[in-house]
């Protein structure tokens, strides 16, 4: 025997029961997001590498070490999408969506690819549901997206959620703050581990994310961006908070919240769940008013989020796959009924019934047991003289010519 080939590390198969659960997740997302005017969008699995290098940011972990990038054989560098926002900005531009009434609201359910250390809740191919709203800087849109995300998490039964909220202001404020933070970190270099020290110049805000005690102590007294926001950014943030307060959504203000993507401006947020272990992030997002410009468009304010499907399913028990009943199971009492049985099942399906026919050569007793196990509502046993149709719920049984089986099941289904 040859060596068995296995799925690549960090990937997994979605088996039928799980696929049915996910279809339910999708239906719930469509109801909530579609109901708020969000239209479904699907972009390609791969994009020009430049889109992410420019869009997500050269200094981010994603671009520096997590992307699956390759030459497609024709001298073009392409990347398997590591996130959904930059591709949707590209699509917004490419299809001239700025000419539509704004805001343009879009949502997606897609798979994404990051070369990360695989562990529970962290995969190399994973799925996200995301929503993006383009063309408005109104704080109502920030609040709307956050409230829709909260509603989605609730509808999926995600347990123990906490919302953290912050504001990053605009790039100029951030640049000035960044220099102050860098200066502060440099004066504390001897208290920081190498990996934090190395990033002082590249991405100092990530130091707020570090878990080691030394860095945590240093960061407690570090300057906070939220104390330095420009008045209009502080006002925008206050309005977002008021709208969330009005809606009764609980949140914590976190002045140290930094997201792993460079494109955020103003509002940023993250939902975590206490029901998850180390990978507690369920969803995150924020406003990205400069991103569309950064990839070559006109200035276009926008806000959005992405939620991890694996983590939502892990932290929730609310989603159950709907049962798919079998209306008719065609059992065979005699070997020469095979042809008639096959034909009956096919015709039943064409008449709109969910129908299956015995093909495994089981004994009649085995067939009835199987029909029971798959939840068949009716079983038609085909013999030499017609069929005997049993209603599995009432136990009623009736003998009839084969031609009458489908009408009888259709009648009984009502
Ligand atoms: P983390 O801090 O866990 O690395 P992140 O900040 O990289 O998350 P985002 O890029 O904001 O995550 O993506 C939004 C959501 O997508 C996360 O909250 C998480 O639920 C999910 N997610 C991100 N990366 C992965 C992954 N490798 N495997 C599974 N889910 C993921
Ligand atoms: Mg990450």
Q: Could you tell me the distance, in angstroms and rounded to a whole number, from the CA of residue 82 to the centre of ligand 1?
A: 10
Query: What is the pLDDT, as a whole number, of residue 339?
Result: 95
At 202, is the pLDDT very low, low, confident or very high (cuts 50, 70, 90)?
confident
Would you call 356 helix, strand, or coil by DSSP? strand
Q: Percent of the chain beyond pLDDT 70?
A: 99
E strands along 277-367, which residues?
Answer: 281-287, 302-308, 326-332, 355-357
Which has more pLDDT, 256 or 401?
Answer: 401
Query: What is the pLDDT, as a whole number, of residue 260?
Result: 63
Q: Could you tell me the distance, in angstroms and rounded to a whole number, from the CA of residue 62 to the centre of ligand 2?
A: 7
Q: Could you tell me the distance, in angstroms and rounded to a whole number, from the CA of residue 260 to the centre of ligand 2?
A: 7
Evaluate: CB of 264 within 6 angstroms of ligand 1.
no
Judge whether residue 14 has pLDDT over 80.
Answer: yes
From the CA of 312, give the closest atom in ligand 1.
20
Q: Could you tell me the distance, in angstroms and rounded to a whole number, from the CA of residue 265 to the centre of ligand 2?
A: 19
Judge whether residue 11 has pLDDT over 80.
Answer: yes
What digits encode the pLDDT tens for the residues 113-158? 999 999 989 999 999 999 999 999 999 999 999 999 999 999 999 9
Give the mean model confidence (pLDDT) for residues 352-381.
96
DSSP H helices in 36-123: 49-55, 61, 85-94
> Exposed, middle or buried by CB within 10 Å (0-12, 13-18, 19+), for 89?
buried
* Residues forming beta bridges with residue 291, ordered by sequence position: none
Q: Rounded CA gap, 184 and 200, in Å?
A: 10
Query: What is the pLDDT, as a whole number, of residue 153?
Result: 97
From the CA of 279, give the closest atom in ligand 1.
3
Which has more pLDDT, 373 or 335?
Answer: 373
Q: Could you tell me the distance, in angstroms and rounded to a whole number, from the CA of residue 118 to the centre of ligand 1?
A: 12
Evaluate: CB of 10 within 6 angstroms of ligand 1.
no
What digits encode the pLDDT tens for the residues 72-100? 999 999 999 999 999 999 999 999 999 99
Tokens at residue 139, please? 């704080």
Q: Could you tell me the distance, in angstroms and rounded to a whole number, from the CA of residue 215 to the centre of ligand 1?
A: 23
The residues near 192 (Cβ < 8 Å, ≥ 6 apart) are: 185, 200, 207, 214, 215, 218
What digits encode the pLDDT tens for the residues 241-264? 999 999 999 999 998 887 666 788
At 319, is the pLDDT very low, low, confident or very high (cuts 50, 70, 90)?
confident
CB 302 within 8 A of CB 287: yes
Query: What is the pLDDT, as a whole number, of residue 397?
Result: 94
Q: Among 64, 306, 316, say which to mutate for ligand 1: greatest number of ligand atoms within 8 Å of CB.
A: 306
Query: What is the pLDDT, as a whole number, of residue 205?
Result: 84
Q: Rounded CA gap, 50 and 96, in Å?
A: 20
* Residues forming beta bridges with residue 165, ordered by sequence position: 253, 269
Q: Please provide the average confidence, as pLDDT, over all residues in the chain.
A: 94
Q: Among 128, 149, 208, say which to mutate for ligand 1: greatest number of ligand atoms within 8 Å of CB.
A: 128
């Amino acid at each position: 025997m040859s060596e068995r080939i296995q799925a690549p590390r960090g990937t997994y198969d979605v088996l039928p029961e799980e696929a049915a659960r996910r279809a339910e997740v999708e239906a719930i997302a469509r109801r909530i997001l579609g109901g708020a005017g969000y239209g479904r969008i699907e972009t390609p699995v791969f994009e020009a590498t430049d889109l992410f290098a420019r869009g997500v940011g050269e200094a981010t972990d994603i671009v520096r070490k997590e992307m699956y990038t390759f030459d497609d054989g024709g001298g073009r560098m392409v990347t398997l999408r590591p996130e959904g926002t930059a591709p949707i900005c590209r699509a917004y531009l490419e299809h001239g969506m700025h000419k539509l009434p704004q805001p343009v609201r879009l949502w997606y359910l897609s798979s994404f690819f990051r070369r990360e250390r695989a562990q529970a809740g962290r995969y190399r191919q994973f799925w996200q549901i995301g929503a993006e709203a383009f063309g408005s800087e109104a704080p109502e849109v920030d609040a709307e997206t956050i409230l829709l995300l909260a509603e989605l998490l609730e509808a999926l039964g995600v347990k123990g959620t906490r919302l953290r909220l912050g504001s990053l202001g605009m790039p100029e404020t951030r640049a000035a703050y960044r220099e102050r933070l860098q200066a502060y970190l440099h004066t504390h270099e001897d208290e920081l581990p190498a990996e934090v020290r190395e990033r002082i110049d590249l991405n100092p805000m990530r130091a707020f994310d570090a878990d080691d005690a030394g860095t945590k102590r240093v960061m407690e007294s570090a300057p906070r961006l939220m104390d330095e926001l420009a008045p209009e950014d502080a006002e925008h943030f206050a309005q977002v908070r008021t709208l969330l307060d009005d809606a009764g959504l609980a949140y914590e203000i976190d002045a140290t919240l930094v997201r792993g993507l460079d494109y955020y401006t103003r509002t940023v947020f993250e939902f975590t769940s206490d029901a998850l272990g180390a990978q507690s992030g369920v969803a995150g997002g924020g406003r990205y008013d400069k991103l569309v410009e950064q990839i070559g468009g006109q200035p276009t304010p926008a806000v959005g989020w992405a939620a991890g499907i694996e983590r939502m399913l892990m932290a929730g028990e609310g989603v159950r796959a709907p049962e798919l009943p079998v209306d008719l199971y065609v059992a065979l009492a005699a070997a020469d009924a095979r042809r008639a049985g096959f034909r009956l099942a096919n015709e039943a399906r064409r008449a709109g019934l969910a129908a299956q026919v015995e093909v495994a050569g089981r004994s009649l007793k085995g067939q009835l047991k199987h029909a029971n196990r798959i939840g068949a509502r009716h079983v038609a046993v085909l013999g030499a003289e017609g069929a005997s149709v049993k209603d599995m719920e009432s136990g009623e049984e009736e003998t009839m010519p084969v031609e009458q089986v489908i009408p009888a099941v259709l009648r009984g289904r009502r």
